[in-house]
Amino acid sequence: MSQSRNRIEKFVSFYKPYALLFIADITCALVVSVISLMLPLCVRYITHDALDGVTPDFSRGALAMLALISVQTACALFYDYMGHNMGAMMERDMRNELFAHCQKLPFSFFDKNKTGALMSRITHDLLNLAELYHHGPEDLMIYGLRFIGALIILMNINLQLALVVCAFLPVMAAYSLLFQGKMRAAYRNNRERLAELNAQLEDSIGGIRVVKSFANEERERQKFAGVNEQFFRGRAFIYKREAFYFTGMEYFFAQLITAAVVGAGSLWISRASLGVSDLITFLLYVGYLTAPISRIAFVVQQYQDGFTGFNRFMEIMETAPETGYGTKCLTNSEVVVQGHVQFVNVSFKYDEGRENVLENISLDIKAGESVAIVGHSGVGKTSLCALIPHFYEVTAGMILVDGVDIRRFGLQTLRRHIGVVQQDVYLFAGTVFDNIRYGKPDADDAEVIMAAKKANAHDFIMALPNGYNSDIGQRGVKLSGGQRQRLSIARVFLKDPPILIFDEATSALDNESEHIVHEALTDLAKNRTTFIIAHRLSTVRNAGRIIVLTKQGIGEQGTHAELMQRNGIYARLTGDLG
C-alpha cells in the first residue's frame, strides 16, 4: 500500500512545476465541452421557431453560434498545443531524472539489464506516459462532461426517446469492456516485444565489426528477422482487436442507435408527441453519448499504456543507487588521498546464491607502491581491482584508502582519485580534444596537449587530418588499437590520480604498439599507487610486488626474483605469462 501511495504521489509531482498551465489546459477543455453542449441547443432554438412558422432571428442566432465557435476553437487550439507541450515538458523532466538516476546505479544493475531494453524504457515508455499526462485529464473532462450533460439535456427534451438511447449504452459498455481485457494483454505483450527488438538491434549494430569479421551477417539478419517477426505478430494481433472493436462501436452500434432514434422519433412525431426540432437535437446529441463509450477502450488503453510505462519508470527509480551518494559522504574538500590501499578480509560475489569470486582477501599496499596481480583466468583479478573504485559492493570485509573505509567516501570523490586504463578502451564520438579532456573537463588546450605528449600520443594526433580537432568516430573506430589506448592513457594523465589500475592495458596490442604504450604507462605510474593486471611477463616483472591470486585466495606474493627462487605457483605461471 505504501509503494502504491508513493507512486501516486510521484506521478502527481510532475504536474507541480506546470500547475498554472495545467489549470489553464483543463479550463479550456471545460469551456470546449460546455460550448459543445450549447451548440445543439442553439440549433434547436432556431429550427423550433422555423418549424412553428415564426421567422427566427437568424442574424442573432448566427452571431451567437459564431461567437461560441470562435471561443471553442481558441480554447481547443490552446489545450491541443499547450497541453501537448506540457506533456512533452513533463516527459523531458522525467527522462532527465531517469537518466540521472541511471548514472547512479551500480554496475550490477547494468550487468543484468540489456542496453536496448533500457533505451526503450527511457524513450518509448516515457513517450506514451507524456500522452497520458496530457490527454488523460482532458479526456476525462471532455467526454465525462459531454456524456453527463448530453444525458441530462436529452432527458429534459424527451425522457422516452432518451431511454431508447440509454438502452444501448450498457450493451456498448459490455462490448467495450470485453475487448478492453484482450487489448490490454496485447499492448503489454507488444511493449515487451519492442524492448526485445531494441535489445537485438543495439546488440547487432554495436557488434557489427565482430559480425563482419566472422561473416555472420546472415545469422544476424535471421536473428533480427525473428524478433522483428514477433513484434509484427504482436502489432497484427492488436490491429485485429482494434478493427473488431472500432468497427463495432463506430459503425454497428452508432448507426444502430441513430436508426433507433429516427425510427422511434418518427413514430412519436406522427403521434404529435415529439417535435421535429427535438428529433434533430437528439441526433446531434447522440454522438455525445456514444463517443465516450466508443473511446473507453482507447482511454483505458492510454491509461494502461501510460501507467505501465510509469511503473517501468518507477522500477528503475526505486532501484537503490550505489552507496556513496549520501550527504554524509566525504567530499573533495575533506580528502587528500595519498594512495595507501588496504583490503581487510574481503570476500565478494556478484549475486546472491552464487559462490564467492574472492574469499577472505587481506592486502596492504603502501602509497606509491606498484603491485602486479597475476593468476589464471577466473580467479578474480579484475573483480579485485573493480572493488577499489567501489564499482561493486564487497560481500564481506572492507577496503580502506588512507585508513578510511571507501564506503565513507562520496563516489565522485573516491573515483576522482583513481585512474583506470582497461584493455577494452571506450572513446566517445567527437574530437581528440573532447576525449582527452574527459579526464578533466575544465582543462585548457595546453593541459590536454601536455597530457597527450606524456602518453606518447602527440605525434600521431598531429598527423591526423585536423590534429586535436579530428573526429575519431564512434568508439574511436578511425584509430588503431594502440592509438586508442594512448588516448585513454592521456585522459588519465590529465586526470592525475594518485591511484592507478591497469587492467590488461596492453594485452590486445602488437609488439610495437605495446612498447610505446608500455613507456607511457611506466611514466604514468611514477609516484602513484599502481595495480597492474596482466598476462605478459614483461608487464609484471618490474612491479615492486607481485601478488599471485588463486581460487583459494592469495597464493604467493613477492618480487619477481623472490617468487622465481621460491619455484612455486608463480614460477609455473611464468610459462603462461611468456
361 forms bridges with which residues in the sheet?
346
Q: How many whole angstroms separate alpha carbon 312 and alpha carbon 300?
A: 18
Q: How many CB atoms lie within 10 A of CB 514?
A: 21
pLDDT of residue 489: 85
Q: How many whole angstroms separate alpha carbon 388 and alpha carbon 390?
A: 5
Residue type, 367: A
CB-based contacts of 524: which residues, under 8 Å, 6+ apart? 419, 421, 454, 455, 489, 492, 493, 500
Count CA atoms within 13 Å of residue 515 on its CB side: 2
Strand order, beta sheet including 545-550? 418-422, 499-503, 529-533, 370-374, 545-550, 553-558
CB-based contacts of 450: which residues, under 8 Å, 6+ apart? none
Q: How many CB atoms lie within 10 A of CB 273?
A: 12
Q: How many whole angstroms separate alpha carbon 315 and alpha carbon 363?
A: 38
Q: How many whole angstroms separate alpha carbon 536 and alpha carbon 257?
A: 83
CB-based contacts of 41: which residues, under 8 Å, 6+ apart? 153, 281
* Residue 504 DSSP one-character state: S
Q: How many whole angstroms separate alpha carbon 485 and alpha carbon 222?
A: 35
Dihedral sign from CA coordinates of 551, 553, 554, 555 = negative
Inter-axis angle of helices 511-525 and 445-454, to 10 degrees?
120
pTM higher than 0.85 for the full model?
A: no
CB-based contacts of 242: which residues, under 8 Å, 6+ apart? 183
Say if residues 338 and 402 touch (Cβ distance below 8 Å): yes
Which candidate, 298, 3, 279, places its Cα nearest to that of 154? Answer: 279
**What is the enclosing helix (H) or strand (E) of 373?**
strand 370-374
**DSSP secondary structure, 284-332, as one string:** HHHHHHHHHHHTHHHHHHHHHHHHHHHHHHHHHHTSPPPTT-STTSB-G
Q: Domains along the chain?
A: 2-317 (1.20.1560.10), 368-379+415-577 (3.40.50.300)
Q: How many whole angstroms separate alpha carbon 38 and alpha carbon 288?
A: 12
> Grid coordinates representing 418?
583513481
pLDDT of residue 324: 62
Phi, psi of 559 (to 5 degrees): -80, 170
pLDDT of residue 365: 92
Say if residues 133 and 87 touch (Cβ distance below 8 Å): yes
400 forms bridges with which residues in the sheet?
342, 405
Q: Is 397 helix (H, G, I), strand (E, B) or coil?
A: strand
pLDDT in tens, the chain (578 residues): 567 788 888 888 999 999 999 999 999 989 988 888 887 777 766 666 555 555 555 667 678 788 888 998 999 899 888 888 998 899 899 999 998 888 888 888 888 887 777 887 888 788 878 888 888 888 888 888 888 888 888 888 888 888 888 888 888 878 877 777 677 677 777 777 877 887 787 777 777 766 766 677 788 888 888 888 888 888 888 888 878 887 887 778 878 888 888 888 787 877 777 777 777 777 777 777 777 766 665 676 677 777 777 888 888 888 888 766 555 566 655 667 888 999 999 999 887 767 888 989 999 999 989 998 988 888 888 889 999 988 888 999 999 999 989 888 888 888 889 888 887 788 888 899 998 998 888 889 999 999 888 888 888 899 999 999 998 887 788 888 888 888 888 888 888 889 989 887 666 566 666 677 777 777 877 888 989 887 767 678 778 899 999 888 888 898 888 888 888 888 888 765 55
Q: Strands 529-533, 404-405: parallel, antiparallel or unpaired by DSSP? A: unpaired
Say if residues 90 and 15 touch (Cβ distance below 8 Å): yes
Say if residues 61 and 46 touch (Cβ distance below 8 Å): yes
